[in-house]
Structure 1
Amino acid sequence: MNDVILYFALKYYGNWKLIYKAIKNNEKILNGDLELIDKEIKAKSLSINNPLYPDVLREVNNPPFVIFHYGNIDLINQYYRCVGMVIGAKLSKYQSKALKDFVKFFHKNSPIMVIKIDNHINDSLKVVFNPSKKIILVVKEPLLCFLKSNADLIKDYEFSNNLLVISEFYEKTEASYLGPMYERIFTGISKTALVICDSSEHHFKQTITLLNDSGKSIFVLPEEIYKKSNNNSLIKEGALIVQSGADILNIL
């Protein structure tokens, strides 16, 4: 059954609805088609009925039928240590300094940072990378595309066991479907989350909504009261004020 699910995931380029329809309707598979699935693809995939598939992803709405991965897949099952990092691309000096302090603390105290990558690794995120520290990247684009466009980063972790890259797509997908639900993977494997972003970055709204709906604790860096701020709005809505990494570590 693993190969059947993987076959449909590849055939329909990760489109959840089409994969679901194929499985539900017992769509026929031609003799020999399953044997054509490359062994390397099998080694980089986990189907939902595989015993190694993480339980935390089974619990999200419309769990991915297949996740494609590169690196240390064992990191995904260390949920109790995972901190989701919702980091904006346009950080102020205050926010940038705070982020560096949080990352420094996390690197010393060993939680696993979970980072979602929308289109590319922005400058704000570069501070989180350290080949000697564990990190999980949940990427919007197909796995092979991300590995190719970030070859230098992958090379930095080449001899490390501290990187895991996850995507719902392997090689390609339809442009209209590219990542509309990938944030559920990010929220699913994050036990808690830290939010540091600019008020103009409204694309994080869906992520925050999913975190709230799944009952995750959300820590937010407060801003000046005279400044228009999504962060302060989140605090008014019930998010937790964060002053140091220790506040977050107490939740793990």
Structure 2
Amino acid sequence: MNTIQDKLLLISHCRGIRAAKLRRLYQIDHSFSLLQSLKSSEYLSLGLITPSYYSTFSEDFSSLKLSAIRANLEKHGTHFLTILDPLYPDLLKEIPDPPLFLFCKGNLQLFQHPESLGVAGARQSTPYGREALDKILIPLIKRGFVIVSGLAEGIDTAAHAVCIVNGGRTIAVLGGGFQHIYPFSNRALANEIGRHHLLISEYAPHIKPQKWHFPERNRLISGLGNGTLIAEAKQRSGSLITAQYAMEQGRDVFAIPGRILDCTSDGTNELIKDGAKLVMTAEDILEEFYGIGLKASGTAKE
């Protein structure tokens, strides 16, 4: 292993060390040279690996073969991108906890697009939520915005679908590896995005999604957008976690208002009370970004 990229690729397939711990090690040792010299007690004293996982990590780190990992990624058309690569998205470098690596399928140039919007919302979305989302997103899509979402049921699925139907571009951020698309019902959508748009994950392809992966994933949805739009959200929902990440990252938060009698609007209405930008049209988002509306900008695509 001659490069940091090699070490990261190997570590990405090792059991026993979580991504947050790996980022901590990177802060201590950018070259990861310590990985090959630390003793068990030193791993533990640094808080990198718990005692129960040390032997598992050590076994994988010494036995896994880089050549086999690379061959498998190539076979499935998967790119391995590290934070040191030129194509790594600049927006993610700006967040407090950027992933050290990403697994990607599709058009990596979408990372460099200057206009992007994260979208999150209720899995049990309503017709109102989906129709309101279309109203806001279609003009932005026609203007060239890349829409970033999480491939979940409901609003996420609607956001990706409206992009595809209207000739736009979308990025889907997964909560597990490419071999375990969740929900399973979105497998065809994931394949479409991976072929013609961009599918990404910070988890190796063989890793099954876990409950804690989804809050981790949400920081990438907000991190890849110039702002984040919340379209329907219950109180204490994952969508509000995404909004919180966006605020911590210094990104704009937008929310679609809803009926005060609908529980799927409780979270979005609360966000607006707390200072999120109330959004009724695409112009509301453009005005916040650029101080202009669609008509005034003169750059909307027909």
Normalised by the length of structure 1, the TM-score is: 0.82
Unaligned runs of 5+ in 2: 27-31, 38-60, 291-302
Worse overlay, 195-204 or 122-131: 122-131
- Which residue in 1 is equivalent to 2:198? 164
- Which residue in 1 is equivalent to 2:273? 236
Report which of the two has the higher share of helix: 2
Q: 2:12 aligns with which of 6, 9, 12?
A: 9
Residue 25 of structure 1 deviates from its aligned partner by: 2.6
Residue 54 of structure 1 deviates from its aligned partner by: 1.7
* Change in CA separation of 1:184 and 1:124 when aligned onto 2, cut-off 3 Å: closer
SS of corresponding position for 1:113: strand
Residue 156 of structure 1 deviates from its aligned partner by: 4.2
- Which residue in 2 is equivalent to 1:152? 188
Q: Distance in 2 between matches of 1:178 and 1:222?
A: 28
Q: What is the correspondence of 1:49-198 to structure 2 with a 5 Å cutoff?
A: 49-78=84-113, 80-117=114-151, 120-122=152-154, 125-126=157-158, 127-130=161-164, 132-146=167-181, 149=184, 150-156=186-192, 161=196, 163-170=197-204, 171-172=206-207, 175=210, 178-198=213-233
- Which residue in 2 is equivalent to 1:37? 69
Q: Distance in 1 between matches of 2:274 and 2:182?
A: 38
Q: 1:26 aligns with which of 27, 35, 38?
A: 35
Q: Distance in 1 between matches of 2:67 and 2:19?
A: 23
Residue-by-residue CA offset, 1:41-82 (whole Å, 9 max, x unaligned): 26511012223222222222232121001111110121x311
Q: Distance in 2 between matches of 1:241 and 1:156?
A: 32
The aligned amino acid for 1:105 is P
Q: Which has the larger radius of gyration?
A: 2
Residue 176 of structure 1 deviates from its aligned partner by: 6.4
Q: Distance in 1 between matches of 2:65 and 2:193?
A: 35
8 Å contact from structure 2 (residues 149, 156) kept in 1: no
Coordinate RMSD, CA, aligned: 3.1
The aligned amino acid for 1:107 is I
* Change in CA separation of 1:11 and 1:216 when aligned onto 2, cut-off 3 Å: same
* Change in CA separation of 1:139 and 1:31 when aligned onto 2, cut-off 3 Å: closer
Q: Does residue 111 of structure 2 align to residue 48 of structure 1?
A: no
Unaligned runs of 5+ in 1: none
8 Å contact from structure 2 (residues 87, 111) kept in 1: no
